[in-house]
Amino acid sequence: MSCGNHHDTDCSEVLAEVWLYLDGECDQERKRQLVQHLDECAPCLQEYGIDEKLKQLLARKCSGEIAPDGLKDRLRRQIRTAVLEQAEVSVESGPGGTTVEVRTTRIERRA
């Protein structure tokens, strides 16, 4: 996804990492970059708001119940796969290491 405006952090990167931000799993510098982008980009802010509400709903409805570790792992893998697909990011691990490919179209406007 891209709103068509130039940002220091690309929209697809922000949406791919919004769950890390919501879970408090990114470092302070990355958090600052994500917050700055969300402050500047209404489409991403709207998507973030939806994700935030979904996370709150899940926490409220599922609190107190403990899911089996296998279920948690499967859900994490499925969510990660869906987020990476939506952001057009592929991650491949092999004997030589991990390769990450981000397929984005960047539109820059000149004043």
- Read off the pLDDT of each residue in 72-83 and give the average, rounded to a whole number: 83
Q: Give the global pTM.
A: 0.44
Q: Quick: pLDDT tens for 78-89.
A: 887 887 777 777
Q: Quick: pLDDT tens for 11-52.
A: 778 778 877 877 778 888 888 888 888 888 888 877 777 677
Three-state DSSP at 91 gives strand
d(CA 4, CA 1): 9
Look up residue 103 and give its two tokens: 């397929």
**Mean of all residue pLDDT scores within the chain:** 76
pLDDT band at residue 107 using 50, 70 and 90 as cut-offs: low
d(CA 34, CA 44): 10
Query: Long-range contacts made by residues 38-41, C-beta under 8 angstroms, separation at least 24?
Result: 38/14, 40/5, 40/7, 41/3, 41/5, 41/7, 41/11, 41/14
Q: Please state the domain extents for the chain.
A: 11-102
DSSP letter at 97 equals: E
